[in-house]
A and B are shown apart, each in its own frame.
Chain A
Amino acid sequence: MSESPDHSSLAPLRARLAAIPTLDAEALEAEAVALLGRKQGELTMRLKGLAALPIEEKRAMGGALNVLKNELEAAVEARRAELAQATSANANRDVDFSMPGRAQWPGTLHPVTVVVDEIVEIFRGLGFAVALGPEAEDEQHNFIALNFPPDHPAMDMHDTLYLDPEGASRPVGERMLLRTHTSPVQIRVMRDGPPPYRVVIPGTVYRNDAFDPSHAPAFSQIEGLAVDEGITFVDLKATLTHFAQRFLGADTRVRFRPSFFPFTEPSAEMDVGCRLCDGAGCAACKGTGWMEILGCGMVHENVLRDAGLDPERWTGFAFGMGPQRIAMQRYGLHDIRLLYGGDMRVLTQFGGVGR
């Protein structure tokens, strides 16, 4: 827009507009108030004064003033930004950005928790839900209902931790003990409602073992149970192979060997290819190229029958594994007691939250 002679009165203001880019911070703020202040600003006053002018002049002058106001505001803003940048550049010149940042303590989950959570998540994806049960059990749930013969050596005090009956005597078969495996929860699940069942059971189990580098009197176990019509050994092998390959890597080799547990038949051990030597044989796998990872089998007919299920109709599989052993293999720990201690130098190495 070209300037009309009528607006020559705006020339001083235009000169001040031109000077804005040269002002320092203090002068800039003073000038901004002097020109644009809401109460006494020069331009503000001029805009207020428009009301007194004749209509023609009001329209022409009003337009010019508004243009000028916008230009002034833009110039002030631009100068402010320029000065701010110069200030921070000045300030930054003396900062040593190599100084360390201010950290928070890294919270950590226990390695066994990490392992258990991973296992549970994989089985959750296969339709399993988490079931839990008491750690103090009776012989009925821990042994008898699981098809242990009545004089099985596990019921010797040698292997199992019993609770002090405090003078009350209970017959063999009903004594209270600390569960030696998570399997009694299978019994509780089966007695709780009709199949199908698909549950994983993590929990603490107990044995009468000395506390030494490879044994602990209490440790974690995670167990699984699937019962339905038509479940077969093929499903057992397929499910656990899938688990191993999700848990340890898609190229994990798996094999099943016959074994024996009172509560499954047929029973098996699942081995996975040793990851340290890639199957070539090393000290960790005792030269076999394989590591034992879990025990499993088809739920024994007697267990189903004892839980009130007809084994001709319902079949199923069960499995169990030890998260401490898995954690020790995974992290290269050689003393299981490290997993029970509170040494901060150990604990902060694992399971960092958000890492």
Chain B
Amino acid sequence: MKISREWLEGFLRRPLQSADVSARLGMLGAPVDGIESLGGDLSPFVVGLVTEVRPHPNADKLRVTSVDDGTGTLSQVVCGAPNVTAGHKYPFARLGTVMPGGLVIEKRKLRGEASEGMLCSARELGLGQEHDGILTLETDAAPGTPLLEIMDAPDERLDVDVTPNRPDLMCHKGVARELAHAYGIAYRLPEIPELVEIDLPPPVRYGDEAIVGGVRLAIADSGCGRFLGATIRGVKIGPSPAWLVRRLEGAGVRSINNVVDVTNYVMLELNQPMHAYDAATLRGPAVIVRAAREGEALVTLDGVTRKLAAGTLVIADAERVIGIAGVMGGEETEVSGTTTDLFLECAWFEPSRVRSARRAANLSTDASQRFERGTDRWGAVDAFRRAIRIVLTVAGGAVDNATVDCFPAPSFPPRIFLRPSRVSQVLGVALPWIEIEKQLVALGATVVSKPDDGRMAVDVPGWRPDIQTEIDLVEEIARLYGYDKIPTDLRGFRPGARQDDAAWGAMARIRLGLASQGLSEVMTLPMVATGGPGAPRLLNPLSADHSVLRDALLPSLVGEIEANWALHTADIRLFEVGTIFAKGEPGGRPTEALQAGFVVTGARAPMHWSDGGKPALWDRWDARALFERLVALANPSAAVQVEEGGWVARLGDGTVVGHCRQLSADAPPWAAPLFGGEVAVAMTPAPVVPFVPVPAYPAATRDLALLLPMGTAVEQVTALLMQRGQRHELRSVTVVDEYRGKNLPEGRRSVAIRLVFRASDRTLTDAEVEQGLGRLMTSLERELDVTLRSS
């Protein structure tokens, strides 16, 4: 909402500082997003009296003048304005003055004649666009008087951020009401210059039908709660007076003509949108509020032909639709330069009807924004009468017969019962009755005490349709009392009964676990360009790149790898913990699961000089170890198993919950191999692993070089050894080397393993270890055709 500082000053009858106004409005819940000055700073200029005007010897269009600027010395000023006249006063910029555009006035020669200053036009002062010559000052002030003493400082426009619950702040009166409370002063309507004195009786009350100065007015739809109408004949359409143009401009609205400007003025002042029709164009003549019928259309004021959905609340004459109620009028009945008779509409429309009409037409206007929030149906009468008076003042004419007020179901603003005990229960401060009453009066409410049950009966003002229940009043009391006056004492509390969500601990564990492996956490957007057939689709994505919910993490992570490659980054280590999605039944809730994934490529550690410039790269064995680490963190009951070119994490029931392998990507030639894996996060708390006593007796270690037939996996060998080795006190089997190639029997590879034997109750003897080894070798040879490598 754009608010003019001057207009507020008109309400409050005192000068205001925009910065202070902004601060106070902010603390009342209406922050000011910006302040715009509507003119240059007038402080450098003075009144200059032109004492003499001579023709310029060398230029037909220039004049040489003498200017008295109060310093006692006349200045010679060359001036190009046709209207410069001896004996008149003009705004004068002395030498050294900085103009609003930044230009500095210096002594210079114009076609050979010295010029010591400048006589200014309105535009040069930043006061508007007209540039027909210099600005003639009608003033008695002596030459040299600062211009600010005889002219108003430029207006300022405040951009007030109005929350949806505050229709009252959509006008200057509402903002002035808040400021009056903040400053502790009174407010009343601004004076209208030269307001005509006429006898304007109150509108005559009718039901849903009336005749208004020859025009039939009817309400045929309950979406219109009140309709005030007047026919004004004999107006002269023309430009608005300067004060009206200035007010509208202060509020960011362009002047159109005197009548339209008045309707806008009243809307901006009192939050009551109005519409003026050219009465001669009304067929019937009639004005009817009704629902649009199937197939009806309208050319609105913006020149657009709009088909109307049946049921849309419209204004019609006897034959056709002439406006979308509360949104915009029609082109065919608009006020034009030739209009002499007006029909003036001032109505209350149901907010939801205006909202649906606005949505259907996709047309948000100053009027629709106000009707949607809710206008004051009881305040409409005052707004209507003020509008008529100002129309008669600025456009002439006379009201034809009586004005009319169609109010089919008369009502009063709601009465709410307020318990002071509820105020303290919610706010935590016991406000005395008098303090509560003070805030309610500031709100504009009427307070009736009800001593028999300790409640206050509060009649809410019509401009606050948002206030409907007791708690709404509690909020208003807190707001107007001042949030900053409510204490901030920290008190004891009862803790909640809930535990942390299990997933939270799992996420923290995984993040820390992977970061401690040297990986960096990334958070990619959960919506992607494409996904598998089971990935849920969005109905209304803004961009095709973000139209599907991800069903896996690795594609996004690989995308980030490629983005890094594009930036010539070769060493990349990323992980993410995030939600993945899968379609549910059509229209239903998708399934969501927490997933953790990683990708690595490039150097395994930062470059070190001992690597000779060729650091070791992440390889598949690093990937396997990272994957095992991730599975242990994220899904500890799953086992990592070999599967077709990589590994999977599998639960006891065979469900695969994760996978890891070398990945293909759009890689530049210099890129290192890329590996990645992801796993479903089990929502289990971290498993508690019981303490294992440290060994009390020494271990015996034996290294063996084994020959394995091709196709025999090391895991088969270690599994067999661990199983059979139990009775021989075998504790661990570690692979220490692999060799393939020369000096080996055909179809064999050599794998070196280290066996550790240890008993928990004694020191093993060499003989015991050797005997165990012999038995184990026999088993290996018999069951897996694995033999000792001789040499």
Residues of A bordering B, CB below 8 Å: 99-100, 102-110, 112-113, 117, 126-132, 134-136, 138, 151, 156-157, 161-170, 176, 178, 189, 193, 196-199, 202, 204, 206, 208-211, 216-218, 220, 226, 228, 232-235, 237-239, 241-242, 254-260, 265-268, 288, 298, 300-301, 315, 339-345, 347-348, 351, 353-354
Contacts and interface: CB of A to CB of B under 8 A. Distances in A.
Contacts of A103: 605-606, 608
Q: Determine which residue in A157, A216, A301, A348 has the highest number of CB atoms from chain B within 10 A of its CB, and name it.
A: A301
Nearest to A195: B496
A157 B540 contact: yes
19 contacts: A127-B496, A131-B498, A132-B504, A134-B592, A136-B536, A138-B589, A168-B587, A196-B495, A196-B497, A198-B496, A199-B496, A232-B425, A234-B491, A235-B428, A238-B488, A259-B163, A342-B524, A343-B564, A353-B516
Given A267-B475, A343-B569, A257 B518 contact: no
A122 to B, nearest CB: 13
B564 A342 contact: yes
Contact of B521 (A109, A128, A238): A109
Interface stretch (B23-31, B142-150, B305-313, B672-680): B23-31
B526 A135 contact: yes
Interface in B415-432: 424-429
Contacts of A157: 539-540
B590 interface: yes
Given A228-B493, A234-B487, A256-B486, 8 more contacts: A127-B495, A135-B592, A217-B542, A234-B429, A265-B475, A343-B567, A347-B520, A347-B521
B521 A108 contact: yes
B165 interface: yes
Interface stretch (B120-128, B196-204, B578-586): B578-586
Contacts of B512: 109, 353
B455 interface: no
A80 B520 CA distance: 49
Contacts of B355: 151
Interface stretch (B4-12, B466-474, B703-711, B718-726): B466-474
B164 A260 contact: yes
A216 B560 contact: no
B181 interface: no
A119 to B, nearest CB: 13
A257 B31 contact: yes
A132 B501 contact: yes
Contact of A237 (B487, B518, B542): B487
Interface string B516-547: 11111111111100000000111111110010
Nearest to A165: B587
A197 B605 CA distance: 47
Contacts of A232: 424-429
Given A257-B27, A257-B31, A257-B483, A107 B517 contact: yes
Given A129-B499, A342-B561, A166 B471 contact: no
B484 A209 contact: no
Nearest to A342: B560
B683 to A, nearest CB: 10
A103 B615 CA distance: 12
Nearest to A157: B540
Contacts of B592: 134-136
B766 to A, nearest CB: 19
A345 B525 contact: no
A209 B563 CA distance: 23
B392 interface: no
Interface residues of B, number: 100
Contacts of B590: 136, 163, 176
Contacts of A178: 538, 549
Q: Determine which residue in A106, A127, A169, A217 has the highest number of CB atoms from chain B within 10 A of its CB, and name it.
A: A217
B526 A218 contact: yes
Contacts of A110: 521-523
B479 interface: yes
B537 A163 contact: yes
Contacts of B493: 126-127, 198, 226, 228, 235
A128 B499 CA distance: 9
B494 interface: yes
B673 to A, nearest CB: 17
A119 B428 CA distance: 26
B609 interface: yes
Contacts of A353: 512, 515-516
Contact of A344 (B27, B514, B525, B569): B569
Contacts of A135: 526, 579, 581, 592
Interface string B67-89: 00000000000000000000000
Nearest to A209: B542
Contacts of B523: 110, 112-113, 220, 339-340
B546 A211 contact: yes
A106 B514 CA distance: 11
A163 B539 contact: yes
Contact of A265 (B471, B567, B608): B471
B474 A266 contact: yes
Contacts of A104: 518, 605-606
B511 interface: yes
Nearest to B30: A258
Interface string B595-627: 000000000011011100000000000000000
A237 B486 contact: yes
